[in-house]
Chains A and B, each alone.
Chain A
């Protein structure tokens, strides 16, 4: 199992429901969230509206200080080759298509970049103590003043089932069971796309003990019922 770099635990982690509202407030006029699972496979169009390929993956920057990693670009399947479309060249990233003004570059395995579809989507999420919680059903991108960023992790089974369906269903955003990305210390030290990598929540039962009852309650209300029960049981047992 990969060892993961754990960041300090932010207070009030695992924030789910306020996510949409907060980003809407921050982004006047354009508060929509984009589904990474829905974007993969979507067409990429050039300035003249001609199709140049399809999105194979989306790449974010690995930056330890930023809470929400910034989108670096899209990996585009252009004829038979894999190309990089840098985020600066995007004219519009919509739920079902990517519009480019700039040129495609040859894709290289850049260090410090994380491929979302291949490295994070469908990966195991464990809590800080290593208990398996669930898997990543979808990843959500949001527009912030500093560019498009990875803001949320969708863990719902409904989203997973939706991904089995046709493209319009795949692009829908779940309304619940979304973790804020800041509650995940995601990036392993070695290759993120390696078969052994997992995502780790920054909180654990042990951390909760140090927080006192109020924080425990706050966190528990954010968790789905069966996990809530399991956690409450473990906390009270100590």
Chain B
């Protein structure tokens, strides 16, 4: 940069930094930030609306678990040069690996529904009926994958989702009760109600999502990051996980400050109210733009990650640059998930509650897949010296067991007809 030009851009520098950060963003950062997708944003907003700041302490624990899980996946990929789909196929009996892939497919197909739901909800905020916007989005997304430039489109979607930077600003401008926030963030507590339990599982399901684990592993493999480059990749993964959850917590705080305690959300317009302190009457539009970007990005990334993992476990070619004829299985899986997602999202009903329920389903599937990841990362025959050490084993096992226990509790309550 020249001296002459220096003074003028200095005011824009923070934005430039953010853009530069995004430009060099590693797989870990992108994977974790893609976690703030339609399902994520709406679930965090629901948490804020329903229980104000009470879920913050849980989010703190979830952040620790997310860091542990994402790090294990990135490490597995860097040290073996293989994605999770391949490792599960090679290291587990064929039935177990079939189960894992089937669960991933179900979880991601469900998630794709919620991303299309997000597209529909966001376009309704911008004044377009979802019966128009969802079919168009389906065609556009599929065409980009089949014929277009994926990485440029990815950047465009990330740029749109930057609208959510408004959340931290809104959270501060809404003057949340700092004392309450600090108390609920740092003192261990749990609200004794089934609604809270279900929401807790949804929060875990949307934060520690199977597709993020599979995505970070395949991205590390694709970028040919090996053991030598792993330390910087590790930092990227951990920072990404923490940063993403900080944004998530700001969504909860902003929504809690604006409409906390008002009960479950019934529309995206209510969720958008949280941005009003920051941008005033532009809140619905800004929320709509952010939600659209996040949903579009995830509607592509989520089905991609399961198609990639399943194609990898079958050992066939898989790449967005391969073309349909060279990678028919990959494209077949991708198309199926996209079509199922768009079709279900078009069904009439309350999109927000559908999206939150899908996060619960993800919350149930997540612990099963985490067990696979944990076993792989513990195995010396897979990772050699990079396998989990004793302390890490205990920490990771505690994370997986607690997530599984919460999910199991919800299943039992649902079965008893309580939740």
Contacts and interface: CB of A to CB of B under 8 A. Distances in A.
Interface of A: 1, 37, 122-125, 131-135, 157, 160, 163-164, 193-196, 226, 229-230
A132 B316 CA distance: 6
Contacts of B82: 195-196
Nearest to A193: B381
B353 interface: no
Given A195-B383, A226-B328, 14 more contacts: A37-B94, A122-B90, A123-B90, A124-B86, A125-B315, A132-B318, A133-B315, A134-B315, A135-B315, A163-B94, A195-B79, A195-B90, A226-B326, A229-B325
22 contacts: A122-B89, A122-B90, A122-B94, A124-B86, A125-B315, A131-B317, A133-B315, A133-B316, A134-B314, A134-B316, A157-B314, A160-B94, A163-B94, A163-B95, A164-B94, A164-B95, A194-B381, A195-B82, A195-B381, A195-B382, A195-B383, A196-B81
B309 to A, nearest CB: 14
A160 B316 CA distance: 14
A105 B388 CA distance: 33
Interface of B: 79-82, 86-87, 89-91, 94-95, 98, 313-318, 325-326, 328, 381-383
Contacts of A157: 314
B325 A226 contact: yes
A196 B328 CA distance: 25
A131 to B, nearest CB: 7
Contacts of A133: 315-316
A230 B328 CA distance: 11
A228 B381 CA distance: 36
A193 B382 CA distance: 9
A34 B215 CA distance: 38
Nearest to B226: A1
Contacts of A122: 89-90, 94
Contacts of B328: 226
Contact of A124 (B79, B94, B315, B326): B315
A135 B310 CA distance: 12
Contacts of B318: 132
Contacts of B325: 226, 229-230
A171 B296 CA distance: 46
Contacts of A135: 89, 313-315
B326 A164 contact: no
Contacts of B381: 193-195
B94 A195 contact: no
A157 to B, nearest CB: 7
B78 to A, nearest CB: 11
A163 to B, nearest CB: 5
B249 to A, nearest CB: 36
Contacts of B79: 195
Nearest to B97: A122
Contacts of A230: 325-326
B315 to A, nearest CB: 3
A10 to B, nearest CB: 23
A160 B363 CA distance: 29
Nearest to A157: B314
Contacts of B314: 134-135, 157, 160
A164 B102 CA distance: 13
Contacts of A132: 315-318
A157 B332 CA distance: 15
Contact of B98 (A37, A123, A164): A164
B80 A196 contact: yes
